[in-house]
Amino acid sequence: MSTSFASSPRETYHHGDLRAALLDVAEALLDEGGPEAVSLREAARRTGVSPTAAYRHFADKESMQAALAVRGFDAFAAALAEAASSDPDEPLSAMGQAYVRFAVTRPGRFRLMFGTAVSERERHPELKAAVERASVGFRGAVGSSESSDKVLAMLRAWSMIHGLAQLVIDGMLPGYDPELLARAVTTKK
C-alpha cells in the first residue's frame, strides 16, 4: 500500500497512523502552550501533511482537543490504577500522589482534561466514556459501596486531591514539594 518515491510526506501515512501522528504532535503543542495552543493547522504542518488531510480526521479544533482529552483520561486511569496496586495498604494516598504527579508533570494536559477547552462534553460520547473509565478506579479505591457515607468520602477525597493539584499548577502553593503535599493531605493522621 505504500508509495515509493512519494512526492509528499502525506503519502507515507496510513489512515489510522496519521490520526495517531497528528495527536502525538498536538500533545506536544498542548505541553508547550496549554489547551489554547492546540491547532489543527499547526499539527498538520508539523506532521508534514496538508490541513485538508488533517481535517479528514478531526472536524475542528474542539474534536482534536476532545481526542487529546480521551488520551489524557486513559493515561490518567492507568496511572491511578498502577498507583493503587503499588500500595494496597494505602491505595488512596498512593493515588493522591499519582494524581498530583500527573497534573504537575503535564499541566497543559490536565487543564485540557478538566477545563473548558472541550466546552460541551455531552457532544463527545467517547470523552464521557473515558471520564467514566478513569473515575471507576478512583471509586474502587475509596470503596465500592454506594452508601451515602462512602459517596461522601469519595467526593471529599476527590475534591481534596483535585483542588491540591489545581492549586499547585496554578502557582498558589509555591515552595512546596507537590508530592509531599499530596502524601500529607491523604495520609490519615
> Using an 8 Å Cβ cutoff, are 21 and 14 in contact?
no
For a copy of itself, the binding residues in 15-74 under the rule CB under 8 A are: 34, 36
Interface characters, 78-107, with a copy of itself (x: CB under 8 A): ------------------------------
Closer CB to a copy of itself, 78 or 151, in the complex: 151
In whole angstroms, the minimum distance from the beta carbon of 4 to a copy of itself comes to 47
Closer CB to a copy of itself, 6 or 180, in the complex: 180
Interface characters, 109-128, with a copy of itself (x: CB under 8 A): --x--xxx----x-------
Q: Does residue 155 interact with a copy of itself by CB under 8 A?
A: yes
State how far the Cα of 173 lies from the Cα of 124, in Å rounded to an integer.
34
Residue 122 CA neighbour count, 13 Å, CB half? 0
Q: Does residue 152 interact with a copy of itself by CB under 8 A?
A: yes
State how far the Cα of 19 lies from the Cα of 166, in Å rounded to an integer.
30
State how far the Cα of 152 lies from the Cα of 110, in Å rounded to an integer.
24
Closer CB to a copy of itself, 20 or 152, in the complex: 152
Whole-angstrom CA distances from 102 to 62, 65, 82, 162, 168 are 23, 18, 12, 11, 12
Of 116, 15, 137, the C-alpha closest to 69 is 116
> Using an 8 Å Cβ cutoff, are 99 and 82 in contact?
no
Q: Does residue 188 interact with a copy of itself by CB under 8 A?
A: no
Give residues in contact with a copy of itself (CB under 8 A).
Answer: 34, 36, 111, 114-116, 121, 131, 149, 152, 155-156, 158-167, 170-172, 181, 184-185, 189
